């Protein structure tokens, strides 16, 4: 303290000069690391002309830093005397309603402490809509109740801050990714976060008793469990071209305003997060017919969920909190209880309901199986339940005419990120594509029909054909033709046969994968063997595109030499045959600088 007095009185240092983040001397002592900072230095500096409302680069006043328990950068953690400093600042006239650059008031950053909340409110601090979030972050139900009783809005949201998406440290370990789910919580802007969603989306909810208490207090004070909120669409979503829009339409993801924020519903997103639990069921009078902005019911949401519809709901209750055997209690919570899918059916949800894209619960389960193939087993019980209670859904098309079987085969084309399986006959690795083949076979076992075409005239075989460089896909394709009577030469609305899709597999896959840049990882030798398999099934190699006059060789000329040669040899096709533009297959290969194919004919000169 003597040094501080010496610097100010004898050397006349500028006590309001900012340093390291524009923090002044008052900002530094506000952290309360030493007893004398609040008891001696603070009164002295204020008397000497220190600005009690000075701001650092984050827009924080000294009072903000005396209250905010986040690590203060170079200023470090809060010290043991920070409350004394805060009280001294308030008594000195500090503005308790000052707002920092993130829109946070002093009360907003003090919500973790009931004592600090009392101090601020008793001295006239204004309760803002966002004030409760600090209490929620600290799981402090007592502080939360004080704020709610003091007038805080249980549905209040954080203030708007430009380009301020939810911070990573608020994520509680959630997965990022698919914008249909809420594992993309980083895409939720701060000003859209709903208090009850913020609380119930924490990773330890509902197991943690303090979190359950906060959740119930919000509901008791009028929190809307069905409240809408918006998320920013993902940058890598399938958007921006006609091809992508067509793909989205087939998947039931079409959006009239694809680049606009997407609207979600709190309860539906909590169900997608796998948060359906006894705590929520007991605390909420669930409207079983409620739908989110995309027309999804709670059953659709649980079929989308990370945990899967077969997951057993958490039965944690307040009675468990006094039990010492945590592992035993955890086992009892799940043992013998119904799945999330069954629980929603018991509550009265309609198993036959469709969303705005005509998707049934089966379509949603298939989409989930594609997104999370490692958890494929978490939908088999629910799929069997559908087959028992509403078997017609196994063959019911969505708005694009895609039945669940079509949908599963279509998504097989989109699951090509892993490398192709070995040609040596090794056991296939459990890749995403293998999982989709397994899911398609599950549909067969449950009684789904592979017959029929979608609105574009595509059969299941059209969707599978570009993937015939996978031996498990080829086996399924062969089974569907031989055992289920599907026509290997069926034409879609463009006049294309499954063999056309195989010969033009790159173009077909780009179309079926939404026009992005999938890592196709083709097995060229396996694709060539698949051509022979289609010949054995009776495929017509003489098919020609009526619009362009392109034959199979014109299409294959853009691909690998193995595929081209297999199509040429198996079909006995003439590479010198011209299309309507008077191009031969060799001309097409030259256009694409396909040197390996051109080399086949250079040897003959």
Question: Average pLDDT for residues 405-429, to the nearest whole number?
Answer: 60
Q: DSSP per residue over 304-345, as a string?
A: HSSS-TTSBPB---GGGGG-S-HHHHHHHHHTTPPBHHHHHH
**pLDDT score at 176:** 34
| Domain 545-605 belongs in CATH node 1.25.40.20 | yes
pLDDT band at 224 (very low <50, low <70, confident <90, very high): very high
3.40.50.300, 3.10.180.10, 1.10.8.290, 1.25.40.20: CATH of 157-193+225-393: 1.25.40.20
pLDDT band at 239, cuts 50/70/90? very low
Are 157-193+225-393 and 401-540 equal in CATH topology? Answer: yes
Tell me the average pLDDT across 525-550: 93
For range 409-430, the mean pLDDT: 53
| Residue where the block lists tokens 């997951």 | 311
pLDDT higher than 90, residue 446: yes
Mean pLDDT of the chain: 83
Least confident span in 71-75, 131-135, 377-381: 71-75
Q: How confident is the model at residue 172 (pLDDT cuts 50, 70, 90)?
A: very low
Q: Please give the structure tokens belonging to residue 338.
A: 């119904």
Whether residue 206 has a cis bond before it, omega within 30° of 0: yes
Structural contact between residues 438 and 415, judged by C-beta atoms closer than 8 angstroms = no
**CB atoms < 10 A from the CB of 115, how many?**
11
Burial of 306 (0-12, 13-18, 19+ CB in 10 A): buried
Q: Any residues with CB less than 8 A from the CB of 408 and at least 6 apart, and which?
A: 366, 369, 436, 439, 440, 443
Residue count of the chain, please give it: 605
Fold of 2-149: 1.25.40
Count CB-CB contacts under 10 A for residue 239: 18
Structural domain spans, the chain: 2-149, 157-193+225-393, 401-540, 545-605
Q: What is the pLDDT of residue 252?
A: 62
Residue holding tokens 């669930």? 286
Overall CATH class of domain 401-540: mainly alpha
pLDDT at 425 over 50: no
Which sign, positive or negative, has the C-alpha torsion 267, 268, 273, 275?
Answer: positive
Which secondary structure element, helix H or strand E, spans residue 461, and what is its range? helix 460-464
Distance (Å, rounded) from C-alpha 300 to C-alpha 179? 15
The DSSP code for 240 is S
The residue among 198 and 171 whose pLDDT is bigger is: 198
Question: pTM for the complete prediction?
Answer: 0.82
In this structure, of 166-180, 293-307, 527-541, the range with the lowest mean pLDDT score is 166-180
- CB neighbourhood size of 549 (10 A): 15
């Amino acid at each position: 303290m003597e040094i501080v007095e010496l610097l100010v009185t004898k050397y006349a240092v500028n006590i309001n000069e900012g340093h390291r983040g524009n923090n002044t001397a008052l900002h530094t002592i506000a952290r309360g690391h030493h007893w004398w900072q609040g008891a001696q230095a603070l009164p002295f500096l204020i008397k000497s002309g220190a600005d009690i409302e000075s701001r650092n680069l984050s827009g924080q006043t000294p009072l903000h830093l005396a209250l905010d328990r986040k690590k203060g950068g170079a200023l470090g953690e809060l010290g043991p005397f920070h409350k004394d400093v805060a009280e001294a600042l308030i008594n000195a006239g500090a503005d308790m309603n000052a707002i920092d650059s993130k829109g946070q008031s002093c009360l907003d950053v003090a919500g973790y402490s009931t004592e600090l909340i009392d101090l601020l409110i008793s001295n006239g601090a204004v309760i803002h809509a966002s004030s409760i979030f600090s209490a929620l972050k600290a799981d402090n139900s007592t502080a939360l109740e004080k704020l709610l009783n003091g007038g805080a809005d249980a549905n209040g949201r954080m203030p708007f801050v430009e380009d301020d998406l939810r911070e990573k440290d608020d994520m509680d370990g959630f997965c990022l990714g698919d914008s249909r789910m809420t594992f993309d919580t980083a895409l939720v802007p701060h000003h859209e976060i709903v208090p009850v969603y913020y609380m119930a989306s924490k990773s330890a909810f509902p197991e943690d008793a303090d979190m359950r208490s906060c959740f119930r207090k919000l509901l008791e004070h009028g929190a809307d469990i069905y409240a809408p909120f918006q998320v920013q669409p993902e940058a890598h979503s399938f958007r921006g071209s006609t091809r992508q829009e067509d793909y989205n339409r087939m998947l039931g993801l079409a959006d009239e305003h694809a680049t606009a924020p997407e609207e979600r519903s709190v309860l539906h997103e909590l169900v997608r997060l796998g948060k359906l639990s006894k705590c929520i069921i007991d605390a909420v009078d669930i409207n079983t017919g409620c739908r989110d902005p995309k027309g999804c019911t709670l059953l659709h949401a649980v079929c989308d969920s990370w945990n899967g519809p077969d997951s057993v709901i958490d039965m944690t209750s307040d009675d468990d909190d006094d039990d010492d055997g945590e592992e035993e209690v955890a086992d009892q919570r799940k043992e013998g209880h119904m799945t999330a899918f069954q629980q929603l059916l018991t509550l009265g949800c309609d198993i036959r309901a469709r969303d705005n894209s005509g998707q049934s619960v089966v379509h949603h389960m298939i989409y989930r199986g594609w997104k999370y193939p490692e958890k494929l087993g978490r939908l088999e019980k629910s799929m069997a339940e559908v087959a028992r209670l509403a078997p017609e859904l196994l063959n019911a098309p969505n708005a694009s005419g895609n039945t669940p079987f079509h949908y599963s085969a279509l998504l097989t084309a989109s699951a090509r990120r892993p490398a192709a399986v070995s040609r040596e006959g090794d056991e296939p690795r459990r890749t995403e594509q293998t999982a989709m083949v397994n899911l398609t076979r599950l549909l067969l076992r449950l009684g789904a029909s592979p017959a029929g075409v979608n609105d574009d005239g595509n059969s299941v075989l059209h969707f599978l054909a570009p993937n015939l460089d996978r031996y498990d896909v080829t086996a399924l394709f062969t089974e569907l033709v031989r055992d289920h009577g599907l026509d290997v030469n069926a034409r879609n609305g463009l006049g294309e046969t499954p063999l056309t899709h195989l010969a033009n597999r790159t173009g077909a896959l780009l179309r079926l994968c939404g026009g992005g840049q999938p890592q196709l990882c083709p097995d060229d030798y396996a694709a060539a063997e698949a051509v022979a398999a289609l010949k054995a099934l009776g495929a017509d190699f003489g098919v020609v595109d009526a619009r362009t006059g392109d034959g199979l060789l014109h299409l294959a000329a853009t691909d690998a030499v193995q595929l081209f040669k297999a199509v040429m040899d198996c079909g006995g096709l003439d590479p010198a045959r011209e299309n309507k533009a008077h191009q031969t297959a060799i001309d097409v290969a030259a256009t694409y600088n396909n040197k390996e194919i051109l080399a086949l004919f250079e040897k003959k000169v």
